[in-house]
Chains A and B, each alone.
Chain A
C-alpha cells in the first residue's frame, strides 16, 4: 500500500541533492547568469564601475526601485503601466507644495491614491490591468503637465534637496539606502508574510485562491498600493535629489523596470518570480549602463549593445533553449529521414 504512495520523489538525498533541488526551485537563474557575465566583463574592461561602486549603486537604485514595486503587481499576474506617470505626478505635486514635509506626504499619498484607483478598476470593475493602467499612464502624465504648467517646478527649499543627495552612511546616499530598505521590506513581505505569500496564489491559480477563502480583491489592492507607493517614493527621491520636479520625469523608467523584472525571471502571467530576481535584473542593467557610459562608446552603439544584451537575456531562458533544441532536433531528424527515404 505505502509503496503506491511513494510516487514522486521524497525529500532530496545528501548535500548536493539538496543543493540541486534548491537551485531547481529558484526562478532567477537567467538573471544570475547575466549578472555574472556582466560583472566579470566589467571587472576587466571597466574596473572603475566596481571601484566607484556608490555611483553604480546610485544608477541601480534609480532603475530598480520602481521595478521592485512593479514586481509585487506582476507576481499576481497583473501589470502596472502607470508607474512612470505616477513618479512624475507625485514629484510635481510635492514640489508645488511649499512646505517640504507636507509635500513629501502629499506625494506619497498620491502614489497610494493612484494605486487604489488602479485596483478599483481591476478588482471591482473587473477590467484588465493592462488597459486600466494604460489609461492612467496617459491621464497621470497629463495631470503632471497641467499641475506644473508644462514646466519644471523647483523646490522651495533647494538646500534640503542638495543635502539629501549627499552620502549619509559611508558613501551611500539616502537614495541607495531607501532602495535597500524597500527591497528588504517587499522581499520579506512576499516571502514571509501570509498576505504577501498569497500574491503567488492570486497570480498562480486565482480560482484556487478564491476557493481557499483568500480575499483576492484585497490582495490586488495591496499589490497596486505597493507599486503606486514605491513609484511615488521614487518620485520624491528624484525631486529631492534634482531639487526640482520635471513633469516629463521618468520617461525611461517604465520599460527599464519591466526589463529588470523580466530579466530577473518574473513571469508576466503571474505566480512565478521573485523580488530578488528583480534586484538582480536591475543590478545587471545598472552596471551595464554605467560601464557603457564610462567606455565612451558612441551612444547609438551603446543602444545597439543594450538591445542585444536584452535580446540574448530573454532568448536564453531554459524553456526557450529547450524549445529551440527540440525544433532543431526534429528538423535534423527530418532531413536524415528524407535522405534514406
Chain B
C-alpha cells in the first residue's frame, strides 16, 4: 500500500474469449500499477488461467485489448515477452532434458550468428538465480531436480527477462510453507523494485499477506475489484464461490479409532529410511513435512506403487491379515490410492468418467471378463452423484472437467471399492475453495464409515483440519508425531524444518 505510480503499467480492457460455444472470459478488465501486487482469485474454471494466457499472448482474445505502457499489444507470446510480460505457469513449463541455464533462458538465449553464447547465458541465469536466492548447478538437467527446485527455476526464468509485469499462476501449489514464505517475501522485494506482479492463488491467507489489491472472477466475469484493505477473507471466499460455505469449512470431527488396519514396519525405499507406521479403522493419519521429505515415496512404497527395498506391510480387514506385496495385491486387498499427480497418474483424461470409474472396479462389473454396460453406468452414475461431480455427466471425458471435479472422479473410482485403507496424496492441490471443502467432507465421511485414511498434504490448514494424528516426515524419517489436540502450524513446521524434536 506504499507509494505507487498512478499510471497502470498493464491494462486488460474488456477481454472476451470463448472456446467452442462457451464463454471462458466475459468482458473482464484488470489494471496493475508498477510496484503493485495484484491478486486474481476465483474458483478453477472461473477464467483466471485463460485471462493470464491472454495477457501473456499465448491465447488470442476474441475481443478486447491488452495495453502495456499505453500502447496496445499484438497477441503473440513473443510480443508479450518483448513488452516485458512474463508468466510463471501453473503446470511447470520446463524442458526436462535441457539444463537449468538453458531453461532459464528458454527461447531468449543470447546468440552470435545463431550460436548460443554459453558463458553469457550462464551468467544471466546465475544472476536470475541469485536475485531469487536459489543455488543450483547451472548445467544440471531439469529432469534431475526436485519439484520445488523446478518451481524456483521456473520463477528464475520469469525474473531473468527483467519483466515489467510478472504473472504467477498458483506458484505455491507445490511449495511447502517455508518455501512459500520465502517466495512471498521475494515477491514483495521484487514489487518494491517497481515490478508489477499479478498473483493468482487459492490460498486466501497468502493473498491477504502480500497483495495490495484484488480482482475476483466467477464464471468468467469480474465480480469484484478493489483494494485488499476494503475486504476480508470471508467476503472474498463468498464472492469467489457465490455461496456461503463457512458451514463446511473448519468442522472438526470427533473420531473413535478402531483396530489397526494398516501396519507398515521397517519401510526402506529411495528417500525413505526405515519407517514404521500404523493406521486404525476410522482414523485419519496425516503426513506433514516439506516437499522432498519422502512422504510421497513413503506412501508409494507402503502400497507397492513403487518397489520397496525392505520392510513388510500388512492389512487387517475384519480379522483377516494380508501381506501387501505388490501394488496389485494391495488394490485387491482393499487399498485405494489418490495419487499426487492427478492429471497424469490419477485419471485417464482421454476417457469418459464412467470408464475411469470402471477401471479399478471392472472385475466386480463384469461376468467372465465381459463388461456389463448397464451395471457400469448405474454404478458410475451413483458414485459421481455421491461425490458431487458437477455436472454429473458420466459420458463426458474426464479431461473436460475442472481440477476439483477431476479429483472427485479419482475419489469416486476408489469409493466404489469400499476401500478399507485409503491413501490421499495432496488431495486438494490446485483445487478451488468450494471443491476443497467438498473433498474434505468426503474424506471425513470415509473415515466415519470405518476406513483407515492416510493423507499427505503440504497445505497445513488442511492437514490440521483433517488429521486425527499427524506424523511429520523429514529426510525419509518420522521426526515426530502430534495428536490433533496439540497440533498447530508452528509445531508441525518446527518438526518439518528440524528445529526441534518431539517424542511421540
Q: What chain B residues lie within 8 Å of A331 (beta carbons)? A: 326
Q: What chain A residues lie within 8 Å of B307 (beta carbons)? A: 325-326, 329-330
In the complex the two chains form, what is the Cα distance from A201 to B98 in whole Å? 7
B370 at the interface (CB under 8 A from A): no
Residue from the list A207, A271, A333 in contact with B325, Cβ < 8 A:
A333
A205 contacts B111, C-beta separation under 8 Å: no
B98 contacts A4, C-beta separation under 8 Å: no
A5 contacts B134, C-beta separation under 8 Å: yes
B230 at the interface (CB under 8 A from A): no
In the complex the two chains form, what is the Cα distance from A204 to B304 in whole Å? 29
In the complex the two chains form, what is the Cα distance from A197 to B114 in whole Å? 11
A334 contacts B326, C-beta separation under 8 Å: yes
Chain A, range 208-254, C-beta contacts under 8 Å to B? 208-214
Chain A, range 295-341, C-beta contacts under 8 Å to B? 325-326, 329-331, 333-334, 337, 340-341
Q: CB-CB contacts of A68-79 with B at 8 A, as 1s and 0s?
A: 000000000000
Q: What chain B residues lie within 8 Å of A8 (beta carbons)? A: 136, 145-146, 148-149, 292
B106 contacts A212, C-beta separation under 8 Å: yes
Chain B, range 109-159, C-beta contacts under 8 Å to A? 109, 111, 114-116, 133-137, 139-141, 144-146, 148-149, 152
B148, closest chain A residue (CB)? A7
B350 at the interface (CB under 8 A from A): no
Q: What chain A residues lie within 8 Å of B102 (beta carbons)? A: 197
B191 at the interface (CB under 8 A from A): no
Chain B, range 288-321, C-beta contacts under 8 Å to A? 290-292, 304, 307
B58 at the interface (CB under 8 A from A): yes
Q: How far is the CB of B22 from chain A (nearest CB, A)?
A: 21
B87 at the interface (CB under 8 A from A): yes
Q: What chain A residues lie within 8 Å of B145 (beta carbons)? A: 8
In the complex the two chains form, what is the Cα distance from A198 to B339 in whole Å? 32
B149 contacts A4, C-beta separation under 8 Å: no
Q: What chain A residues lie within 8 Å of B149 (beta carbons)? A: 7-8
A272 at the interface (CB under 8 A from B): yes
B144 contacts A24, C-beta separation under 8 Å: yes
Known contacts A8-B146, A192-B116, A194-B114: A212-B107 contact under CB 8 Å: yes
Q: How far is the CB of B156 from chain A (nearest CB, A)?
A: 11
Q: CB-CB contacts of A33-67 with B at 8 A, as 1s and 0s?
A: 00000000000000000000000000000000000
Known contacts A211-B93, A271-B97, A334-B329: A5-B135 contact under CB 8 Å: yes
B145, closest chain A residue (CB)? A8
Q: What chain A residues lie within 8 Å of B58 (beta carbons)? A: 210-211
B136 contacts A4, C-beta separation under 8 Å: no
A271 contacts B326, C-beta separation under 8 Å: no
Interface residues on B, range: 35 or more
B137 contacts A11, C-beta separation under 8 Å: yes
Q: What chain A residues lie within 8 Å of B152 (beta carbons)? A: 5
In the complex the two chains form, what is the Cα distance from A4 to B56 in whole Å? 31
Chain B, range 460-504, C-beta contacts under 8 Å to A? 497
Q: What chain A residues lie within 8 Å of B178 (beta carbons)? A: 4
B179 contacts A330, C-beta separation under 8 Å: no
State how many residues of chain A have any CB contact under 8 Å with chain B: 45
Known contacts A5-B133, A5-B134, A8-B136: A201-B106 contact under CB 8 Å: yes
Q: How far is the CB of A96 from chain B (nearest CB, A)?
A: 36
Q: What chain B residues lie within 8 Å of A337 (beta carbons)? A: 323, 325
B48 at the interface (CB under 8 A from A): no
A131 at the interface (CB under 8 A from B): no
Q: How far is the CB of B499 from chain A (nearest CB, A)?
A: 11
Q: What chain B residues lie within 8 Å of A195 (beta carbons)? A: 114
B212 at the interface (CB under 8 A from A): no
A200 at the interface (CB under 8 A from B): yes
Known contacts A329-B307, A341-B323: A271-B96 contact under CB 8 Å: yes
Q: How far is the CB of B472 from chain A (nearest CB, A)?
A: 16
B94 at the interface (CB under 8 A from A): yes
B322, closest chain A residue (CB)? A341
Q: How far is the CB of A210 from chain B (nearest CB, A)?
A: 6
Q: What chain A residues lie within 8 Å of B56 (beta carbons)? A: 211
B309, closest chain A residue (CB)? A329
Q: What chain B residues lie within 8 Å of A330 (beta carbons)? A: 304, 307, 325-326
B114 contacts A205, C-beta separation under 8 Å: no
B325 contacts A209, C-beta separation under 8 Å: no
B154, closest chain A residue (CB)? A208
B329, closest chain A residue (CB)? A334
In the complex the two chains form, what is the Cα distance from A220 to B136 in whole Å? 32
A9 at the interface (CB under 8 A from B): yes
* In the complex, the 7 A-B pairs of residues with the closest C-beta atoms, listed nearest first: A212-B107, A208-B93, A326-B307, A330-B326, A213-B78, A337-B323, A334-B325
**Interface residues of A, Cβ cutoff 8 Å to B:** 1-2, 4-12, 21, 24-25, 27, 192-195, 197-198, 200-201, 204-205, 207-214, 271-272, 325-326, 329-331, 333-334, 337, 340-341
**Known A194-B114, A271-B97; further 7 A-B contacts with Cβ < 8 A:** A5-B135, A7-B290, A8-B148, A195-B114, A201-B107, A208-B106, A212-B107
Please, could you name 17 A-B residue pairs with CB atoms under 8 Å apart, sorted by A? A5-B134, A7-B292, A8-B145, A8-B148, A8-B149, A21-B137, A25-B140, A194-B116, A201-B95, A201-B106, A207-B93, A208-B95, A211-B58, A271-B96, A272-B97, A329-B307, A333-B326
